[in-house]
Structure 1
Amino acid sequence: MSTVLYDNGIHKCVAFTDLVEGEGIQANQFLIVNQGEGMLLDPGGNLTYKHLLAGMAEYFLPAHLDYVFASHEDPDIVASANGWLLITDAKILIAQEWTRFLPHFCSKGMTAGRVIGIPAQGMVVPLAGQDLHVIPAHYLHAVGNFQVYDPVSKILFSGDLGANLVSGADAAKAIEGAEAFHAHRAISSMDAFHRRYMSGNKVCRLWTQMVRGMDIQWIVPQHGASFKGRDTVAAFLDWFEGLECGLDILSEKDFQFPIPQGGAA
């Protein structure tokens, strides 16, 4: 399933949802096309590769893929790297911390000269004359974690931040309005996911402080539905800024030597 998020005739953003077959976690993939040149965001692994390749062909020629962006190193993010390097001339953008891990997904020598390490402060990436902004989201949830902000569509592609555990047609939905946002939180395991996967409130607050200064009209995560409209984005930021998670909620109960079932060792 694909959905055009933005199209002004020159610049286009496309979401692909529900491509995963089998037992793997559902994940969204994204394509930004500017004047016929493309950036593919978090393309996933073998469970999405052939479907994504076929879906992309509807919007532009895969031979014009300039970049594959990986927000971090997880298999559902970039395990299909070898396939994209094989059939295109694209370069892979990934945090400098993960550049030496990426070859484990690829044939020997395939990544040579094809990987761009994103510095800790992020970077600006030109796509056919239009700048895209790779912004830091460290420890949300990975070390060396990044997001892409598109200033044309005003979409923030937020990776695992904002993930909500819905699939099928629900993953293609855009949640609009503060009330709808909080209702969606209640049914989509957002709170539980973020408490477990985000590292702590300090980084939630630092990230939110940075993002409040940006002109964002739509937050689009890698899992589940998206959050559209300024009121929805504001509600998301207010919730995330105050979230206790990760190190905040760990206790000695989380670090106990396991006892065999049936009694003490």
Structure 2
Amino acid sequence: MQTFDYNSAVEIAPHIYWIGMYLENDPFQCHPYLIENGDESILIDPGSMIEFAAVVKKVQSITDISAIKYIVLHHQDPDLCASVPDLERLIGRHDLRIVTHSRMTPLIKHYLTTSAYYEIDKQALRLQTRTGICLEFLTTPYCHSPGAFVSYDPHSKVLFSGDIFGGIEESWEFFAKADYFDQAKQFHAEYMPSKDIFNYALKKIEQLDLELIAPQHGSIIQKPYIADLIHKMKNLDCGLYIEEKYNSELLDTIEALRAKDQALKEQESLLFQQSKMAAMGEMIGNIAHQWRQPLAIVNTLIAITKEKNNYDMLSKEDLTCKLADMEKNIAYMSSTIEDFMSFFKPNKQKQPFSIRKAITLALEVLHPNIKKHGIAVHIEGDHSLVINGYMNEYVQAVMAIINNAQDALLQHAVENPCIRITFFHRDTLSRLEISDNAGGIGEDIIERIFEPYFTTKHPSMGTGLGLYITKMIIERSMNGVLEVTSNDHGTTFSIGVTHA
């Protein structure tokens, strides 16, 4: 078995040295490395203050410490970074660079480092020195930090792997043996967040031509063992989910979230039904209004027909004409009922429909009230616009917004009240904008306008559910957007849904 003097630097590849410190009976051995490269030498994962004196001594045995121009930090933990500020003072170079990922720099700065950063993700994942030495970087996110990465020297075919391929074992071997996976699996099971995330990193690494893997922990892995180790690692379950305790806690949490989600869905369903009932009440009033005139006509025709019949004045032609008029008015009433009933039939699947048709259906329901209050409605847009979704729900959303505009106009007793409806295509969305000239609403109201049960009206005049349900319909059911803006002139609601 090969033995090493751990008090001295160990050359593991041409001009590449292990410069760590052997901690007896410590399973968490940390390994700094040095790439000797003249006055552009590279220090990799320098370690904590525990190893600081040993690292400095070993560097000085190879080159002057001021020759170090780059310090590579594969993650931000103290076992890797804590000695950096003291090393900066010893190196004393204004052009010293800390090589790391930009997601790491906000954390590393808390060690009070002073050098500028060489952020690999902003440098094409590559470091090229003047003397020809090159490092290529592969990002390995969440193994075990968001900005984690590994460094590959294509000339020597050495991979500096950070936490990946690390091992925990008191009987530490400098070079790994065939059974190294048994030492490494515990470390990865505890430190890698999940099998999928770990495999994402391993798939990148196995594409490399490797002679040696130099991890931050554990043993250095030579070529004969690399392929088999990667294969075993890819099949390793890792992360907290593998432990029964955490698995049980996770299942409990998932079940609680499911119960909460179900309760939320039931509450939203109830709110939706309440909103439907409120809309139905309004529609019943509109049906009564729509029926009033044809009922009066039918009643008059019946009275005239009876009267003429009593005096033997009813001719066959007259009877036929009167019956035709009655049938016409009854057909109109039947059509009105069909229109309202179709609105309350739920759409079971998304279908393409015309925005203009949806506007027409909404206005047919609301027309009596709009006409009664003398509100002008101006419609302008691209009649060819078609969107994909649930038309009845979309119509309900449009009705709620028009009702809101109507209420605002009446509440402020606006002279020449007007609702303007425009629809057009912008970017990837077909937009419908509904505006009023009611003088706008305050920011405090805009912030809460889509909350359930929020209303500025007396409780007897509204539920405060209309706009809340509208937002649910547009954003949840149809994956669209609903926005509101307001100024001194009035308020505009904008619905955006993907073009069919």
TM-score range, shorter chain: 0.7 to 0.9
Classify 1:121/1:252 alpha carbon distance in 2 versus 1 (closer, same or farther; 3 Å).
farther
Q: Distance in 2 between matches of 1:195 and 1:56?
A: 33
Structure 1 residue corresponding to 2:238, chosen from 245, 248, 255: 245
* Count of residue pairs the alignment pairs up: 239
Which runs of structure 2 are paired with 1:98-247 in the superposition (5 Å)?
Answer: 98-106=104-112, 110-111=113-114, 114-119=116-121, 123-127=125-129, 128-166=131-169, 170-172=172-174, 174-175=175-176, 180-181=177-178, 183-186=179-182, 188=183, 190-229=184-223, 231-246=224-239
Which of these two proteins has the greater Rg computed from alpha carbons?
2
Map 1:59-78 onto structure 2 (within 5 A). Answer: 59-78=62-81
- Deviates further, 13-22 or 27-36: 13-22
C-alpha RMSD of the superposition: 2.6
SS of corresponding position for 1:5? strand
Are 2:26 and 2:170, in contact at CA under 8 Å, matched by a contact in 1? no
> Counterparts of 1:248 and 1:21 in 2: how far apart (Å)?
32
Contact 1:154 / 1:216 at 8 angstroms: preserved in 2? yes
Contact 1:166 1:225 in 2 (8 A): no
Cα distance per residue 1:83-136 (max 9 Å; x no partner): 122122221112211212222112xxx52x522223289611123322111211
Instruction: Specify which structure has the higher proportion of strand.
Output: 1
The aligned counterpart of 2:52 is 49
The amino acid across from 2:197 in the alignment is V
Contact 2:140–2:200 (8 Å) recurs in 1? no
- 1:248-263 correspondence runs (5 A): 248-249=241-242, 250-253=246-249
SS of the residue aligned with 2:34? strand
Q: Aligned to 1:3, which of 10, 15, 36? A: 10
Q: Provide Cα deviations, 1:187-237, integer angstroms capped at 9, x if missing partner.
A: x3x2121111001111222222212221111111111211101x3110111
Distance 2:25 2:49 in 1: 11
Distance 2:193 2:122 in 1: 17
The alignment-based identity, stated in percent, is: 23
Gaps of at least 5 residues in structure 2 are 1-5, 254-500
Q: CA deviation at 1:150?
A: 0.9
TM superposition shift of 1:146: 1.1
SS at match of 1:148: strand
Residue matched to 1:261: none
Q: Is the partner of 2:36 in helix, strand or coil?
A: strand
In 1, Cα distance between equivalents of 2:119 and 2:28: 27
Shift of 1:5: 0.7
Letter of the 1:251 counterpart: N
Checking the alignment, whether the CA contact within 8 Å between 1:45 and 1:80 is kept in structure 2 is yes
Instruction: Indicate conservation of the 8 Å contact 1:120/1:144, yes or no.
Output: no
Q: 1:43 to 1:256 in 2, by over 3 A?
A: farther
Worse-superposed segment, 70-79 or 124-133: 124-133
Partner Cα separation in structure 2 for residue 208 and residue 25 of structure 1: 22
CA contact (8 A) 1:39 1:66 kept: yes
How far apart in 2 are the matches of 1:82 and 1:95? Answer: 18
| Alpha-carbon separation, structure 2, partners of 1:132 and 1:59 | 20
TM-score by length of 2: 0.44
Letter in 2 for 1:114: A
